[in-house]
Structures are given as C-alpha cells and as structure tokens.
Chain A
C-alpha cells in the first residue's frame, strides 16, 4: 500500500513521489504516517522528516510549517527544508 508524498518549501517543490511511510517532526513530537491515514493537519516543529519507500529512505531537515494528510496524500509545507544525505 502506497501513498503520495509531497514536500514543498515556499521557493520550490522539494520532493514529490510515492512512499510507504513518513515520519515527521510535529510540534509536540514525532508522528508516523502510513498509507490510508485519516485526514490530519498538524504544525511542524524542528527536526528530521523521513520518507520511506521500499527499502530506501529520504531525509529532510525541516523547520516550521505544517503537515496535511488527506485522501492518501501527505503534504508537507515547510518554511525551511534541507535535504540530508541518504546515509540511513
């Protein structure tokens, strides 16, 4: 089961693709999102966003902004986004 994930900064779309799981730094702690999550909206804090697809994962450092889950689509709108190298 997959879901669509988009990571957008004010200046550009940083990531757009399919994923199995997303771990995001919400304002009050990490949250994990799998496919077919219920609609959700939350504010992001400062931390690492992990997008897992198959065996690989992409990491981004995000700060501020918010996250929205609707109709199996995760949208991360972050004020600051920085890709972290795929060392994980």
Chain B
C-alpha cells in the first residue's frame, strides 16, 4: 500500500489535472457556441447557391462543362491524379475526433488507389499531417494556418488551383474528408466529393422552372457560379469540422473531469482509511504501554 504522503501527492496532482480539464471543457463550450453560429450563418448562402445551380443546369449544359463532367476512370485512360483534402484539427485532446477523420481518410485512399488513382494529399490541421507523415506519406500542401476561424478566403485558396487543374483535365477527382456537423452529439466523419461537381437536382422547389432573363448567357453564368459552389462546399466543410472538433473536445474533457472526480474520491477514501488505521494503531500502542507499566 502506498504511503500516506504518496497518496496526498496523487490527490493533489489529480485535482490539478481536473482543474485543467474543466477549464478546457468550458473553453470548448464557448468556442463550440461560436462555431455553431458560423455553421448556421453559412447555411442561407449554400442553400441559395444550390437552388440557383439547380435552376441553371440542364443536361445539355452539363455535357459541355468541365467541372460537371465525370472524367474517365484511370483504367480507361482518364487522369490518374486524385486529390484528397484532409481536414483535422491543429490540437489534440478531442477524444476520437482526429483518429476518426484519419481512419476515414485511410479508407478513401485505399478505395481510390484500388480504382487506379494516385492519391495526392492536402492536409489542413497538424494532426492529420502528423499522422500521414509518420506512416511515410508526403503532402502536396499543408495548411496548418487555417485553424479555428476558417474564412471563405481560406476555402478559396485551398481549391483555386484544384479547380483549374480539374478543368484542364489533369486531376480526375477531388474529395474532402471532413466532419459532418449534424448536432453536438452527432458529427461523424464523412467524405464529400468536391469535383466533379454533382449538380443538385433541378426543379426541387415547387417543381417550377422560372423563365429567367439570363445575363450573360447561361453557359457564362454557370461558369461563374460553379467555382463559387465548389468554394462554398469547402468552406462548409471547414466550419463544420471546426464545430465538430469543439463538440468532441467538450465531450472528451467532460469525461476526463468526471473521471478525475471519481479518482479523487477513491484516493481520498484510501487516504482516510489509512489515517484512521494509523490513529487506531497509535491508541492501541498507548493503551498497551500504559497497561504494561501498571501491570
């Protein structure tokens, strides 16, 4: 059994750890709130963009647009480069958050390589970059600078060159591994195909196709709008992943705080029992000593 001095030291150390985890929980809660607001604020733009594209895209137009066209698979002579953008966080202590994203990315890499693609990685967040470097993969680019407050410009800078290369036919597919922020309790990792663009189904709103005055012509309009749509998908991925990270960290830190409480309780019980035993023993020795003197 540990000495009472050692027990005291452990109680103090666990108490200090609990202070830290509780603070981290509170910080994550407040960051989560802000991240959630940003996810919600980004929705109207995405919805509007989707409905506009749905109104614009016709099967004839889809044929002539490089961004909408499905390139041939590598086995049939199509471009063999695939780009996977992996979103993870810069910091750890968020439970299984980064591990889940990395697992999803590995699954996608295996699947894409089985189709004959050569996968290039773009890493956002140090955790994913760190892991894949450890297993010996190189990154086409790393973006640890994006962090907790992604902006539309960040999203733009991530995909700008990819859109051009895809349109030029040198990239076959671009995918984004992100967390889907469904709710605070539910944010599973997911892979979203960024390019080729899967055009949203048309006529979803009331089934009416409006007779638009289009200026400039629909093809030019679509050419302007599609890159915006691509950027927006990435922006949404970024903000959702940040929100999911904070939610995961809050849960992990809450569990850690609760566990620390349990450990402190158990240690205190052991410590008190030991102290009591020692006192009892001292009294017994005193009584025994006095009895011996009188005897």
Residue of B nearest to A6 (CB): B44
Among A9, A26, A40, A70, point to the contact of B45 (Cβ < 8 A).
A9
- For residue A79, which residues in chain B have a CB less than 8 angstroms away from its CB? 152, 228
Whether B151 pairs with A28 at a CB distance below 8 angstroms is no
- For residue A6, which residues in chain B have a CB less than 8 angstroms away from its CB? 44, 48
Whether B48 pairs with A8 at a CB distance below 8 angstroms is yes
- For residue B49, which residues in chain A have a CB less than 8 angstroms away from its CB? 77
Whether B117 sits at the interface, judged by CB under 8 Å, is: no
In angstroms, how far is the closest chain A Cβ from the Cβ of B252? 28
Given contact pairs A40-B213, A41-B212, A65 touches B228 in the complex (Cβ within 8 A):
yes
Whether B212 pairs with A40 at a CB distance below 8 angstroms is yes
- For residue B48, which residues in chain A have a CB less than 8 angstroms away from its CB? 6, 8, 68, 75, 77
Whether A42 sits at the interface, judged by CB under 8 Å, is: yes
List the count of A-B residue pairs having beta carbons below 8 Å apart. 77
Among A12, A39, A43, point to the contact of B224 (Cβ < 8 A).
A43
Given contact pairs A42-B215, A66-B221, A11 touches B41 in the complex (Cβ within 8 A):
yes
Whether A66 pairs with B151 at a CB distance below 8 angstroms is no
- The size bracket of the interface on A is 20 to 34
**1/0 contact string of A21-56 vs chain B (CB within 8 Å):** 000001110000000001111110000000000000
- Give the complex CA separation of A70 and B48 in angstroms: 12
In angstroms, how far is the closest chain B Cβ from the Cβ of A25? 13
- Give the complex CA separation of A28 and B220 in angstroms: 13
Whether B60 sits at the interface, judged by CB under 8 Å, is: no
Chain A, 56-78, CB within 8 A of any chain B CB: 64-66, 68, 70-71, 75, 77
Whether B219 sits at the interface, judged by CB under 8 Å, is: no
Among B151, B155, B221, point to the contact of A41 (Cβ < 8 A).
B221
Chain B, 128-166, CB within 8 A of any chain A CB: 151-152, 155
Residue of A nearest to B156 (CB): A79
Whether A41 pairs with B152 at a CB distance below 8 angstroms is no
**1/0 contact string of B231-262 vs chain A (CB within 8 Å):** 11001000000000000000000000000000
Interface hub of A8, A11, A38, A41 (most chain B Cβ within 10 A) = A41
- For residue B52, which residues in chain A have a CB less than 8 angstroms away from its CB? 41, 66, 68, 77
Whether A77 pairs with B210 at a CB distance below 8 angstroms is no
Given contact pairs A6-B44, A8-B48, A75-B48, A38 touches B215 in the complex (Cβ within 8 A):
no
Given contact pairs A41-B221, A68-B52, A79-B228, A8 touches B215 in the complex (Cβ within 8 A):
no
**B interface with A by C-beta (< 8 Å):** 38, 41-42, 44-45, 48-49, 52, 55-56, 151-152, 155, 210-216, 220-221, 224-225, 228, 231-232, 235
What 8 new A-B contacts, CB under 8 Å, besides A10-B42, A28-B216, A41-B55? A8-B45, A10-B235, A13-B41, A13-B45, A43-B215, A75-B48, A77-B49, A77-B52
**Interchain Cβ contacts under 8 Å between A and B, 17 examples:** A8-B44, A10-B45, A10-B152, A10-B155, A10-B231, A11-B38, A12-B41, A12-B42, A38-B211, A39-B210, A40-B213, A41-B56, A41-B213, A42-B221, A43-B221, A70-B210, A70-B212
Q: What are the 5 closest A-B residue pairs judged by CB atoms, nearest first?
A: A10-B152, A12-B41, A39-B210, A39-B212, A40-B213
